[in-house]
Amino acid sequence: MSRIVIALGGNALLQNGEKRDYETQYAHAYQTFENLRFVTENNETVITHGNGPQVGDIQQSHDISGIAAHLHQSVAMSQGYIGEILANAYGNIRTKYGLRKNIFTIITRVLVDENDAAFSNPEKPIGRYYSDEGLEEAKRNGWIMKKFKDGWRRVVPSPEPREILEEPVIEYLLHNGNLPIAVGGGGVPVVRRGGSIYGIDAVIDKDLASSVLATAINADFLMILTDVDHVFINYGKPDQKALHEVHVDEIEKYLREGQFGEGSMKPKVMAAIRFVKNGGRKAFITSIENSMNALSGRSGTIIVQ
């Protein structure tokens, strides 16, 4: 039995352009656990997940209602919101196949540095896309907006994760045969001031936070699941090449060369590199559908020592 942290990408709940209602997200979550049930049942497993669309929706709902909410509160709300969807989906898969594990959603706080440079340079996109016509509406909320290929999006600070405060609880649940859902949306960002803990407005990258968690609990493997089967170099060019098993030093060289997309593949590769360099056995980057093949070494991108 191995210990694995599985970081679910956004496609575990939503595809681009889909309605963001409960039914759509539940259907994807159910299929996700259909694909992952052998991995989760036969290993000590923690599930982590993103929250980009959902946390943006929560913030927008507060703005419309006139009831202000800090971004760190909205991250905590998104952990409960997404956790309910995942727990319901897993619970029904558990009943269908007679699985053993109970699932627990943990509101997880992640310590960051208040002096992190990200607070003066917000770049992490959250929420929905806005057209040029809708830009003024977004700016009236006091948001910083950035233009992307599909339109304008709100951007917020994304500081480096330092410590998972609920790590002892996660460890306890794993040790007792449960399936924790933790570090949702990268975790609720908090800072330590004079021995006390305070929330701070930011969104932490869930892959980097998942790597910190995986190292803290001495996981054997970190599995980052996304919407492609492999990591590519020279992506989108005639000579693009899928990476299969790759040494950590080699993929680190590709990272320095700028081979990976800033807001997409780069943080996944960074998370995988950090995990392996901090003592993890292997990191995998692949699709949800390909997870079993990747774990057995037959497919996916596998980063090794």
| Alpha-carbon span 126 to 260, nearest angstrom | 20
| Alpha-carbon span 224 to 210, nearest angstrom | 9
Instruction: Clarify whether 124 is annotated catalytic.
Output: yes
Active-site residue, selected from the candidate residues 9, 83, 101, 124 = 124
Give the phi and the psi of residue 270 in degrees, each rounded to 5: -60, -45
Active-site residue, selected from the candidate residues 51, 206, 282, 300 = 206
Enumerate residues 6+ apart whose C-beta is below 8 A from 17.
none
Instruction: Clarify whether 282 is annotated catalytic.
Output: no
- Which is nearest to 124 in space by CA: 67, 59, 39, 174? 59
CB 94 within 8 A of CB 101: yes
Active-site residue, selected from the candidate residues 9, 11, 186, 187 = 11
Query: Which residue shows structure tokens 């990200």?
Result: 118
Active-site residue, selected from the candidate residues 10, 127, 186, 300 = 10
Instruction: Clarify whether 268 is annotated catalytic.
Output: yes
Active-site residue, selected from the candidate residues 51, 185, 268, 280 = 268
Instruction: Clarify whether 96 is annotated catalytic.
Output: no
Query: Which residue shows structure tokens 């299929």?
Result: 31
Instruction: Tell me the three state secondary structure of residue 294.
Output: helix
Instruction: Clarify whether 10 is annotated catalytic.
Output: yes
Structure tokens at 171: 């460890």
Give catalytic residues, as residue numbers.
Answer: 10-11, 124, 206, 268
